[in-house]
Amino acid sequence: MATVGTAMARITFFETEEWERDYLKRQLKGHALQFIDGHLGVKSASKASTSDAVGIFIYSPIDAKILSKLPKCRLIATMSTGFDHIDLKACKKRGVAVCNVPSYGENTVAEHAFALILSISRKIPQSAERAKHGDFTLEGLRGFDLKGRTIGILGTGKIGRHVIRMAKGFEMNVVAYDAFPDKLEAKELGFTYASFNKLLERSDVISLHLPLIPSTKHIIGAKAFGKMKRGCVLINTARGALVDTHALLAALKDGTVSYAGLDVLEEECEIKEEKELLSAAFARTCDLKTVLENHLLLNHPRVIITPHNAFNSQEALERILDTTAQNISSFFGGRAINAV
Ligand code: NAD
């Protein structure tokens, strides 16, 4: 079996589901694939000792010890955006390349954000529940139009921009805040940047698309709620801890926030990568249901919660596999892509 620079390679995948195996086999025809149940660890590494590449997810930590058990390996293809489970220095020392999946779900998460907005504006869960019980009365089901309203986008990165495009399709006014404003993009998409406080003051709907870092933790807290327009709708599909839950409950109570649509909650177990949520290893260590059940927000009549499901579309998951397959094919074709 050949290695770098030629078309054919021996590749061992860990942490894959059945459908992903079939998909990868189709995408990587011409290579010799092997699939091992579970993660890549000291014990299972021997199964990949003759492999030219390994495909892993974040539950397979790669360090010098593991690498020493993979003497033929030239490439680690992680099927994740994050790569802090991989010791890059140790890889470099052994001449092992590492590639990742830089993005896969920006439209997917944006669509979910809009699903939450529309669920709220048109009272979809309440309407569907009522119709299911054979009750077709309309009392209490009047919604509101999005057209002409102002949406405030916090974070105009990959996902935020998709939300902006969708909002423009609904003829909403878009105001945005970002630490690194892209004025050219704003002109092209037809939105304006404003200060954080001005965005809070002007927006009827606020949608969060910021990373969770020390400076953004609780960015939506009591002070921010104090500046919001009365009756504002808050949407969070980014990270739970961007919002101070206690302050949100108070803002719901005093009417500052009329409705909240949340795909993420502050008390979630620490999630680095969305796809963790589909992994059995994650389910064993974190009981999301219990966390959610204990949460006051879950039963709030003006809050819609989805279980961190925004990333979870067939297409988004296939994009992870497509990029991984391209990473591997390109590398063994002599042109590394998405190297980290
Ligand atoms: P991105 O990196 O493309 O965009 C983030 C934006 O935030 C950038 O434009 C950046 O300049 C801006 N930013 C960073 N720090 C800031 C600060 N302190 N103040 C103001 N702006 C700041 O990220 P993305 O891919 O658009 O993802 C956005 C969020 O969505 C992330 O938190 C990510 O974890 C989350 N996410 C959620 C799901 C889900 O299933 N719910 C799936 C994928 C991503």
Q: Is the CB of 264 under 6 A from ligand 1?
A: yes
CATH class given for the domain over 3-104+316-332: alpha beta
Q: Is the CB of 179 under 6 A from ligand 1?
A: yes
> Taking the CB of residue 84, how many other CB atoms lie within 10 A of it?
10
Cα 282 to chain centroid, rounded: 16
Q: Whose CA is nearest to atom 12 of ligand 1?
A: 155
For 280-330, the pLDDT digits (tens) are 776 656 656 546 545 788 889 999 999 889 999 999 999 999 999 999 999
For 172-210, the pLDDT digits (tens) are 999 999 999 999 999 999 999 999 999 999 999 999 999
pLDDT of 11 over the 50 cut: yes
Residue 104 structure tokens: 């896969």
pTM of the model: 0.89
CATH class given for the domain over 106-312: alpha beta
- As a whole number of angstroms, the distance between CA 247 and CA 227 comes to 13
Tell me the domain boundaries of the chain. Answer: 3-104+316-332, 106-312
> Taking the CB of residue 222, how many other CB atoms lie within 10 A of it?
14
- Residue 156's H or E segment, with its range, is none
Closest CA relative to residue 114, chosen from 146, 143, 144 = 146
Closest CA relative to residue 78, chosen from 275, 297, 305, 253 = 275
Q: Is 339 helix (H, G, I), strand (E, B) or coil?
A: strand
Angstrom CA distances, 203 to 75, 228, 254, stand at 47, 7, 18
- As a whole number of angstroms, the distance between CA 75 and CA 54 comes to 7
Q: 185 catalytic, yes or no?
A: no
Q: 74 catalytic, yes or no?
A: no
Q: Whose CA is nearest to atom 35 of ligand 1?
A: 238
Q: Whose CA is nearest to atom 28 of ligand 1?
A: 209
Cα 115 to chain centroid, rounded: 15
Fold match between 3-104+316-332 and 106-312? Answer: yes
Backbone angles phi, psi at 112, to 5 degrees: -70, -40
- As a whole number of angstroms, the distance between CA 318 and CA 282 comes to 20
To test ligand 1's pocket by mutation, which of 209, 212, 274 has the most ligand atoms within 8 angstroms of CB?
209
To test ligand 1's pocket by mutation, which of 198, 210, 305, 319 has the most ligand atoms within 8 angstroms of CB?
210
Residue 174 structure tokens: 């878009």
pLDDT of 92 over the 90 cut: yes
**Cβ neighbours for 103, distance < 8 A, ≥ 6 positions apart:** 81, 158
Q: Whose CA is nearest to atom 17 of ligand 1?
A: 179
Q: 268 catalytic, yes or no?
A: yes
Residue 269 structure tokens: 């177990």
